[in-house]
A and B are shown apart, each in its own frame.
Chain A
Amino acid sequence: MTVQTQGAIRLFSGNEAIARGAYEAAVKVAAAYPGTPSTEILEALAEYGGLHAEWAPNEKVAVEVALGASMAGARALAAMKHVGVNVAADPIFTASYTGVRGGLVIVSADDPEMHSSQNEQDNRHYAMAAKIPMLEPSDSAEAKAYTKLAFALSERFDTPVFLRTTTRISHGTGAVPLGEVESPTVPLGFVEEPAKWVMLPVNARRRHVVVEARMRALREFAETFEGNRIEWGDRSLGIITAGVAYQYVREAFPEASVLKLGLAHPLPERLLREFAAGVERLVVVEELDPFIEAHVKALGIRVEGKERIPLLGELNPRIVRQAVSGEAAPLREPAAVPNRPPNLCAGCPHRSLFYALNKCRVTVAGDIGCSTLSALPPLKSMDTCVCMGASIGNAFGMEKALGASARGKVVAVIGDSTFVHSGITGLINLVYNKGFSTVIILDNGTTAMTGAQDHPGTGKTLQGEPAPRLDLAALCRAIGVEHVSTVNPHDQAETEAVLRRELDRDAPSVIIARASCVLLPEHRAERRPTYEVIEELCNGCKACGTLGCPAIEWLPLTPEAAVAAGKKPTQQGIVRINPFLCDGCNLCPAVCKMRAMVEAAR
Chain B
Amino acid sequence: MSGCGNVFLAGVGGQGILLASEVLGEAFLSSGYDVKKSEVHGMAQRGGAVTTHLRFGPKVYSPLIEPGAADLLIAFEKLEALRFLHYLKPDGVAVVNAQEIPPAPVSSGRERYPDGIEERLREVTSQVHVVDALGAALALHEVRAVNMVMTGAASHFLPLTEEAYVEALKVRLPARFVDVNVRAFRAGRALIASPHPGPLPGPGERWVKGRGTRCHTRL
Residues of A within 8 A of B (CB): 9, 11, 36-37, 39-40, 115-116, 139, 167-168, 171-175, 244, 247-248, 250-252, 254, 316-318, 321, 328-329, 331-335, 337-345, 370, 372-373, 378, 449-451, 542, 545, 548, 550, 552-554, 556, 572-573, 580
Do residues B46 and A332 form an inter-chain contact, with CB atoms below 8 A?
no
A174-B35, A542-B108, A548-B104 known; A332 and B68 CB under 8 Å? yes
Please name 17 further chain A to chain B contacts, defined as beta carbons within 8 Å, in addition to the given A37-B42, A451-B42, A572-B109, sorted by A numbering.
Answer: A9-B29, A116-B41, A167-B40, A171-B41, A172-B38, A174-B34, A174-B63, A250-B61, A250-B62, A316-B62, A318-B67, A341-B103, A342-B45, A342-B46, A372-B43, A542-B109, A545-B108
Say yes or no for B148: interface residue by CB 8 A criterion: no
**Residues of chain A contacted by B61 (CB below 8 angstroms):** 247-248, 250-251
For B29, give the chain A residue with the smallest CB separation. Answer: A11
B103 CB to closest chain A CB (Å) equals: 4
**Residues of chain B contacted by A9 (CB below 8 angstroms):** 29
Do residues A554 and B44 form an inter-chain contact, with CB atoms below 8 A?
no
Do residues A251 and B47 form an inter-chain contact, with CB atoms below 8 A?
no
- Alpha-carbon distance A503/B108, docked complex (angstroms): 31
**Residues of chain A contacted by B63 (CB below 8 angstroms):** 139, 168, 172-174, 244, 247
- Alpha-carbon distance A340/B11, docked complex (angstroms): 10
Do residues A36 and B105 form an inter-chain contact, with CB atoms below 8 A?
no
**Residues of chain A contacted by B124 (CB below 8 angstroms):** 332
A338 CB to closest chain B CB (Å) equals: 4
Do residues A337 and B43 form an inter-chain contact, with CB atoms below 8 A?
no
Do residues A116 and B83 form an inter-chain contact, with CB atoms below 8 A?
no
Do residues A174 and B36 form an inter-chain contact, with CB atoms below 8 A?
yes
A-B contact pairs, 16 of them (CB 8 A): A11-B29, A36-B42, A139-B36, A172-B63, A174-B34, A174-B36, A251-B62, A254-B211, A316-B64, A329-B219, A334-B85, A342-B43, A342-B44, A343-B48, A449-B46, A550-B47
For B107, give the chain A residue with the smallest CB separation. Answer: A553
- Alpha-carbon distance A378/B106, docked complex (angstroms): 12
- Alpha-carbon distance A11/B22, docked complex (angstroms): 8
Say yes or no for B111: interface residue by CB 8 A criterion: yes
Say yes or no for B120: interface residue by CB 8 A criterion: yes
Do residues A337 and B68 form an inter-chain contact, with CB atoms below 8 A?
no
**Residues of chain A contacted by B112 (CB below 8 angstroms):** 338, 556
Tell me the chain B residues, 37-73 only, with Cβ under 8 Å from chain A: 37-49, 60-64, 66-68
- Alpha-carbon distance A370/B47, docked complex (angstroms): 12
Do residues A115 and B43 form an inter-chain contact, with CB atoms below 8 A?
yes
Do residues A251 and B217 form an inter-chain contact, with CB atoms below 8 A?
yes
A372 CB to closest chain B CB (Å) equals: 8
**Residues of chain A contacted by B214 (CB below 8 angstroms):** 254
For B34, give the chain A residue with the smallest CB separation. Answer: A175
Instruction: Pick from A172, A317, A321: contact of B36, CB below 8 A.
Output: A172
A168-B38, A171-B39 known; A338 and B105 CB under 8 Å? yes
Do residues B41 and A553 form an inter-chain contact, with CB atoms below 8 A?
no
Say yes or no for B16: interface residue by CB 8 A criterion: no
- Alpha-carbon distance A171/B41, docked complex (angstroms): 8
Number of interface residues of B (CB under 8 A): 57
Do residues A345 and B82 form an inter-chain contact, with CB atoms below 8 A?
no
Do residues A550 and B219 form an inter-chain contact, with CB atoms below 8 A?
no
Say yes or no for B143: interface residue by CB 8 A criterion: yes
Do residues B120 and A335 form an inter-chain contact, with CB atoms below 8 A?
yes
Do residues A449 and B83 form an inter-chain contact, with CB atoms below 8 A?
no
For B50, give the chain A residue with the smallest CB separation. Answer: A340
- Alpha-carbon distance A580/B138, docked complex (angstroms): 11
Say yes or no for B102: interface residue by CB 8 A criterion: yes
**Residues of chain A contacted by B86 (CB below 8 angstroms):** 331-335
Do residues B37 and A173 form an inter-chain contact, with CB atoms below 8 A?
yes
A297 CB to closest chain B CB (Å) equals: 27
**Residues of chain B contacted by A370 (CB below 8 angstroms):** 46
- Alpha-carbon distance A11/B86, docked complex (angstroms): 28
- Alpha-carbon distance A40/B68, docked complex (angstroms): 31
**Residues of chain B contacted by A340 (CB below 8 angstroms):** 12, 47-49, 79-80, 83, 103-104
- Alpha-carbon distance A451/B41, docked complex (angstroms): 9
A516 CB to closest chain B CB (Å) equals: 17
- Alpha-carbon distance A505/B120, docked complex (angstroms): 59
A173-B35, A338-B106, A545-B109 known; A36 and B41 CB under 8 Å? yes
A507 CB to closest chain B CB (Å) equals: 35
Do residues A116 and B42 form an inter-chain contact, with CB atoms below 8 A?
yes
Say yes or no for B132: interface residue by CB 8 A criterion: no
- Alpha-carbon distance A220/B84, docked complex (angstroms): 48
Instruction: Pick from A254, A450, A554, A556: contact of B216, CB below 8 A.
Output: A254
Do residues B83 and A335 form an inter-chain contact, with CB atoms below 8 A?
yes
**Residues of chain A contacted by B5 (CB below 8 angstroms):** none
